[in-house]
Amino acid sequence: MALVVQKYGGTSVGTVERIKAVAEKVGRFHDDGNQVIVTVSAMSGETNRLLGLSNAISSSPAARELDVVVSTGEQVTIGLLVMALIELGYDARSYTGGQVKIITDSAHGKARIQRIEDKNLRNELDAGRIVVVAGFQGVDESGNITTLGRGGSDTTAVALAAALKADECQIYTDVDGVYTTDPRVVDCAKRLDKITFEEMLEMASLGSKVLQIRAVEFAGKFGVPLRVLSSFKEGPGTLITCEEDDSNMERPLISGIAFNRDEAKLTLRGVPDKPGVASHILGPVGDANIEVDMIVQNIGGNSTNDFTFTVHRNEYHKAIEVLTKVAKDVGAAELVSDDKIAKVSVVGVGMRSHAGVASTMFRSLADESINIQMISTSEIKISVVIEEKYLELAVRALHTAFDLDVHEDKD
Amino acid sequence: MALVVQKYGGTSVGTVERIKAVAEKVGRFHDDGNQVIVTVSAMSGETNRLLGLSNAISSSPAARELDVVVSTGEQVTIGLLVMALIELGYDARSYTGGQVKIITDSAHGKARIQRIEDKNLRNELDAGRIVVVAGFQGVDESGNITTLGRGGSDTTAVALAAALKADECQIYTDVDGVYTTDPRVVDCAKRLDKITFEEMLEMASLGSKVLQIRAVEFAGKFGVPLRVLSSFKEGPGTLITCEEDDSNMERPLISGIAFNRDEAKLTLRGVPDKPGVASHILGPVGDANIEVDMIVQNIGGNSTNDFTFTVHRNEYHKAIEVLTKVAKDVGAAELVSDDKIAKVSVVGVGMRSHAGVASTMFRSLADESINIQMISTSEIKISVVIEEKYLELAVRALHTAFDLDVHEDKD
C-alpha cells in the first residue's frame, strides 16, 4: 500500500463534470489499495473573478483581506470534490489549510509554509478516508488566512507529500508530462520518462511552465518523487527524482531544449573600468525592483567595459529609465537596448561529464547562420541570446543536433 | 461610547458599489465614537450559485461539505467589506466564524450556536478596529465548518451582541422598519417606532418577513435591543425591546395586523368523541414531518367532533394523503379540505389588559360580510381564518378599526 498525494489544477476541476471525472480518477487510486490525499486549485476562472471583485473595491486591496477572499476559491473545490467522492460511495473529507493546519509565515499573498501538522490527516487516512486539502492556502501562527501566491497548489501538494513522507506526489495538469522542448515549436518533441530536479528547475525557469519552480525546489529539498501527468488522458507522465539514473547507459547528454521570449537586453557601452562599477550599475536596477537574469561583461576598447544584462520584457521600459540615469553617473558612452531577443538553453545533467556540448550547440547555430549575442553557462545548462526571429529555427536545429527527435509515430 | 453590532443582508452587499456604501455607513458610526462589529451575509445570488454547483454534483450533497462550500459566500463578503473600510482609511479586520470562534453543535446546515469566544473580538475593539464577522457560520468543537441555516446571519448578529453585551443590535434590510401591516396591502400602513419581542415574534411568524424568528427569540432571551433599519435610506427604523413602554399612555391596543396566505385547512367531520382521538389524528401528521399551525376542535352532532387544523400550503397534498388514511382509522364521517384560505391576526401586548379587542375584530369583519372559518387566540394575538379572496379587504378593515392608519403625508 502506497501513500500518494495528488494535485489537480484549475483546468482539471474547471467544471462540475471535470470534478466528477477527478473523483473517479481519485477513487480508482483508492480502489487499488493506495492511501490518497488530494489537493486542488480553485475552479479555473474563479481566482480571477475574486481578484476582480477585490480590485473593484480597491486598486491595492489589503493583503490580509485579499487572502480571506481568494482562499475561498479552493475551499469551494474541496467541498465539491468530496461531495462527488461521497456520491461515488467513497468515504472522504475536506480540509482547508487552516483545518489541516498548514502553518505559514504571515507574508500574505506570498506566504511560505513553515510546518504541517500531520495528525488530522493521519487519523483520516488510518480511518480509510480519502482526504481533500485546499491548495494554495494556510494560516499563520495567529490563525490569519494566508495564500502561497498563484500556482501555490503545487507547493501545497509537495509540502503535504514531504510532511507525510508520501511515496509519490502526482501533479495532474493539462499536459501529459515534461517534453524535450515545447511540442508547439518542435513537432517531434519527446515526452521524458524521467528528469532530475536540477534539470526540471532549469527547464521550468526557462519557460516550460508545467510546474511551479518553488514546488520543484521544495520536492528536491525533501526528496519527494514528483510525477507530472495529464488529468485528461492515461499515461505514466514524467517522473522527477533526485537520482541521475546511472543504470541507464543510454541516457542522453541533453534532456531538453528550453527557451524564453520574455526577456529584453540592455547594454551600457564604454563603461570606465573601475572597481565597483558593476554594483553601481545593478544597484539602482535592484532598488527599482527589476529582476535581472543573465549578466555578461566584455572588455571594450580604451580600458572601458561593455556591460550587458537581461530583464523581463514587462520591465524593459522601467529598466531603460533607470539605466539612462545610471549611464550618466558611471560615465558610460552609450546605452543600447533591444527587446527583440530570445533565450535558448540546452539542459542536461549529462553535460557535467562531457565536453563538447557547447561546441555542438554553437556549431548548430552557426550552420543556420544564427548570430549569438550573449552566452551564459551553468553546471547543467548553456544559454544563448539570439535575435527573436530565429527562435523556432534555433530550437529545432538544437533538438535535432542533440538527438532528441522522436522517431516513432506520436499518438 | 456605545458598542453596536450591525448586520447587513445579501441585498445590502449585493454589488461592489453597495459594499462601498455599507463601508461608508459603518465608518460614520465609528466616527461617531462607537465601537462597531459588523456581520454580513453572502452577496445576493452567491449562496444560490454555490448551492447550484453542489446540486449539480449530487442531488443530496454531503451536509458537512455543503457547509464548507456555502460558507465561502460570507467569507468573500467580509474580505471585500474590510478592503473597502481600509480603502476609506479605517482600521478594520475580518473574521470567519471559525476565527472568532463561534462554536456550534455539529448539525450541519442548521447548526445552533453554543458559545462565542469574545477574546479576539474584544482585543480588536480595544485596538480601535472595526471588526467584520462572517454571518451564518461557525465551527463545531472539532473545527468542522457549520452553517446556521439560511438567513442565519441575523442570528449571528444577535449572538455576537449578546456575547459582547452590545448596547444595540442593528439589522439593516431593504425595508426601513416594522410596519403595522404590509404596506403593499394597506397604503397607509405605519412604521412602528417600537415593538416588543413577543409582538415581533407574532408578527414575524405570521408573515412579516423582516427578521428571522430565531434571531428575535434569541434577542428576547438575552435581552439584546434589536433595531430594524434600511440599508438604503436614513431613519430610526423600529426598535424591538423587552419593555412594554408603560410610559407611553397613548400606546395603542394593537401594534399591527399580520397575515399569511401560505396555509391550507383540513377538517375531519364526525370524529367519534373518544379520549385520545386528537393524538390519533395528529400523530401520523407529525410522523410525516408535516407542521401544523392552528388547531380547532368543535362539537358536532351525535357525540362526534369536527376536528380542523391548518398546514403549510406546500404540504397540503401530503397532508390530504395522510388524513385520508387517518379518517378511516378513527372512523371519521368525511374529510373536507380547502387551500383557498388566509389567516389574519391582530397582534399587540396592549390587548392583555383590554377586553373588547375580539369583539371589535369580529364586528369589523362582519361589517364587510366576511365569514370567519376558524378562530384561535393567544395572550397577545387573535387569529382568524377567512376565505382567501377577502384577505386584503379584511386587513384594510382591521387596520382602520384599530386606528393604525397613518394620516400624515408619507414621504
What is the per-residue pLDDT across A111-161, written as a single tens digit (0 to 9) for each?
999 999 999 999 999 999 999 999 999 999 999 999 997 668 999 999 999
Q: How much is the pLDDT for A150? A: 60
Residue B7 in domain: yes
Q: How much is the pLDDT for A205? A: 63
Q: Do B98 and A98 touch (CB under 8 A)?
A: yes
Q: Which residues of B touch A98 (CB under 8 A)?
A: 98
The residue in chain B having the minimum alpha-carbon distance to the alpha carbon of residue A139 is: B99
Mean pLDDT of B131-145: 97
> Residue B301: how many CB atoms within 10 A of its CB?
7
Distance CA A257, CA B7 (A): 59
Q: Do A83 and B19 touch (CB under 8 A)?
A: no
Q: Do A86 and B50 touch (CB under 8 A)?
A: no
Q: Which of B144, B174, B204 is the last residue of a domain?
A: B174
Q: How much is the pLDDT for B173? A: 87
Mean pLDDT of B177-184: 88
How far is A26 from chain B, CA to nearest CA, in Å?
16
- Cis peptide bond prior to B101, omega within 30° of 0: yes
First to last CA, chain B: 32
Q: Percent of chain B beyond pLDDT 90?
A: 65
The residue in chain B having the minimum alpha-carbon distance to the alpha carbon of residue A59 is: B87
Mean pLDDT of A13-25: 97
Name the residue facing A69 among B56, B76, B99 (closest C-beta): B76
* Residue with the three cell numbers 351525535: B302
Among B43, B67, B76, the residue to mutate for chain A (most A Cβ within 10 A): B76
Q: How much is the pLDDT for B245? A: 56
Domain holding B366: CATH number? 3.30.2130.10
Q: How much is the pLDDT for A277? A: 82
Q: Do A83 and B16 touch (CB under 8 A)?
A: no
* Residue with the three cell numbers 475552479: A43
Q: How much is the pLDDT for B175? A: 84
* Residue with the three cell numbers 473593484: A56
Q: Are strands A168-173 and A3-8 parallel, antiparallel or unpaired?
A: parallel
CA distances from B369 to B71, B150, B239 (A): 51, 40, 36
Region of A223 (left: φ > 0; alpha: ψ -120 to 50; beta: rest) is: left
Q: Which residues of B touch A121 (CB under 8 A)?
A: none
Region of A198 (left: φ > 0; alpha: ψ -120 to 50; beta: rest) is: alpha
Residue A371 in domain: no
Distance CA A121, CA A113 (A): 17
Helix (H) or strand (E) holding A354: none
Q: Which residues of B touch A83 (CB under 8 A)?
A: 54, 57-58, 61-62, 65-66, 69
Q: Do B87 and A57 touch (CB under 8 A)?
A: yes
The residue in chain B having the minimum alpha-carbon distance to the alpha carbon of residue A73 is: B72
Name the residue facing A68 among B16, B58, B75 (closest C-beta): B75
Residues in chain B whose Cβ is within 8 Å of chain A:
16, 19-20, 50, 53-54, 56-58, 61-62, 64-69, 71-72, 75-76, 78-80, 82-84, 86-87, 93-94, 96, 98-99, 143, 145
User: Is residue A276 scored above 90 in pLDDT?
Assistant: no
By residue range, what is the domain housing residue B13? 3-174
Q: How much is the pLDDT for B156? A: 95
Q: How much is the pLDDT for A202? A: 84
User: Is residue B359 scored above 50 in pLDDT?
Assistant: yes
Amino acid letter, residue A169: C
User: Is residue B205 scored above 70 in pLDDT?
Assistant: no
User: Is residue A410 scored above 50 in pLDDT?
Assistant: no
User: Is residue B186 scored above 80 in pLDDT?
Assistant: yes
Residue B216 in domain: no
> Residue B68: how many CB atoms within 10 A of its CB?
30
How far is B63 from chain A, CA to nearest CA, in Å?
9
Q: Do A65 and B83 touch (CB under 8 A)?
A: yes
Q: Which of B125, B140, B174 is the last residue of a domain?
A: B174
Q: Which residues of B touch A19 (CB under 8 A)?
A: 57
Q: Which residues of B touch A54 (CB under 8 A)?
A: 79-80, 83
* pTM score, whole prediction: 0.81
Beta strands in A140-283 (DSSP E): 145-147, 168-173, 194-196, 226-230, 238-241, 256-260, 263-272
Domain holding B35: CATH number? 3.40.1160.10
Q: What is the number of structural domains in chain B?
A: 2
Among A26, A47, A49, A57, the residue to mutate for chain B (most B Cβ within 10 A): A57
Q: Which three cell numbers stand for residue B379?
A: 395572550
Name the residue facing A80 among B54, B94, B96 (closest C-beta): B54
- Label residue B410 by pLDDT band (50, 70, 90): very low
Q: How much is the pLDDT for A246? A: 55
User: Is residue B59 scored above 90 in pLDDT?
Assistant: yes
Q: How much is the pLDDT for B250? A: 53
Q: Which residues of B touch A84 (CB under 8 A)?
A: 57-58
Q: How much is the pLDDT for B301? A: 64
Beta strands in A98-184 (DSSP E): 102-104, 113-116, 130-134, 137-139, 145-147, 168-173
Query: What is the three-class DSSP state of B123?
Result: helix
Bridge partners of B295, per DSSP, are B309
User: Is residue B257 scored above 60 in pLDDT?
Assistant: yes
Cβ proximity of B79 and B159 under 8 Å: no
**Do B260 and B123 reside in the same domain of the chain?**
no
Q: Percent of chain A beyond pLDDT 70?
A: 94
- Give ∠ CA A296-A300-A303 in degrees, rounded to 5: 115
Distance CA A172, CA A132 (A): 15
Q: How much is the pLDDT for B411? A: 46
Q: Which residues of B touch A137 (CB under 8 A)?
A: none
Mean pLDDT of B115-124: 95
Q: Do B69 and A50 touch (CB under 8 A)?
A: no
Q: Which residues of B touch A61 (CB under 8 A)?
A: 83
Query: What is the three-class DSSP state of B8?
Result: strand
Q: What is the DSSP string of B198-216?
A: HHHHHHHHTT-TTS-HHHH
User: Is residue A318 scored above 90 in pLDDT?
Assistant: yes
Q: Percent of chain A beyond pLDDT 90?
A: 65
How far is A67 from chain B, CA to nearest CA, in Å?
8
Mean of all residue pLDDT scores within chain A: 90
For residues A208 and A23, the model is more confident at A23
Distance CA B85, CA B89 (A): 7
Q: Do B75 and A79 touch (CB under 8 A)?
A: no
**Number of cross-chain residue pairs from A and B with Cβ atoms under 8 Å apart:** 106
User: Is residue A248 scored above 70 in pLDDT?
Assistant: no
- Label residue B272 by pLDDT band (50, 70, 90): confident
Residue A188 in domain: no
Buried b (16+ CB within 10 A) or exposed e, B113-127: beebeeebbeebbee
For residues A241 and A212, the model is more confident at A241
Torsion angle of the four alpha carbons B105, B111, B113, B117, in this order, in degrees rounded to the nearest 10: 70
User: Is residue A411 scored above 50 in pLDDT?
Assistant: no
User: Is residue A386 scored above 50 in pLDDT?
Assistant: yes
Distance CA B366, CA B386 (A): 11
- Cis peptide bond prior to A340, omega within 30° of 0: no
Q: Do B83 and A54 touch (CB under 8 A)?
A: yes
Q: Which three cell numbers stand for residue A121?
A: 490527516
How far is B32 from chain A, CA to nearest CA, in Å?
24
Query: What is the length of chain B?
Result: 411
Q: How much is the pLDDT for A408? A: 59
Name the residue facing A83 among B19, B62, B145 (closest C-beta): B62
Q: Helix, strand, coil % (nearest 5) of chain A?
A: 35, 25, 35
Residue B388 in domain: yes
Mean pLDDT of B106-134: 95
Distance CA A317, CA A319 (A): 5
Q: pLDDT of B67-98, one tens digit each?
A: 999 999 999 999 999 999 999 999 999 999 99
Q: Helix, strand, coil % (nearest 5) of chain B?
A: 35, 25, 35
User: Any idea which of A405-409, B230-234, B315-319 has the lowest mean pLDDT?
Assistant: A405-409
Distance CA B348, CA B381 (A): 6
Q: Do B78 and A68 touch (CB under 8 A)?
A: yes
Residue B291 in domain: yes
Distance CA A99, CA A181 (A): 40
Residue A168 in domain: yes
Name the residue facing B83 among A57, A75, A82 (closest C-beta): A57
Burial class, A383, CB count within 10 angstroms (exposed 0-12 / middle 13-18 / buried 19+) = buried
The residue in chain B having the minimum alpha-carbon distance to the alpha carbon of residue A70 is: B76
Residue A352 in domain: no
Q: pLDDT of A96-105, one tens digit each?
A: 999 999 999 9
Q: Do A65 and B80 touch (CB under 8 A)?
A: yes
Name the residue facing B54 among A65, A78, A83 (closest C-beta): A83
Distance CA B3, CA B353 (A): 36
Amino acid letter, residue A41: S
User: Is residue A183 scored above 80 in pLDDT?
Assistant: yes
Residues in chain A whose Cβ is within 8 Å of chain B:
16, 19-20, 50, 53-54, 56-58, 61-62, 64-69, 71-72, 75-76, 78-80, 82-84, 86-87, 93-94, 96, 98-99, 143-145
**Do B274 and B405 reside in the same domain of the chain?**
yes
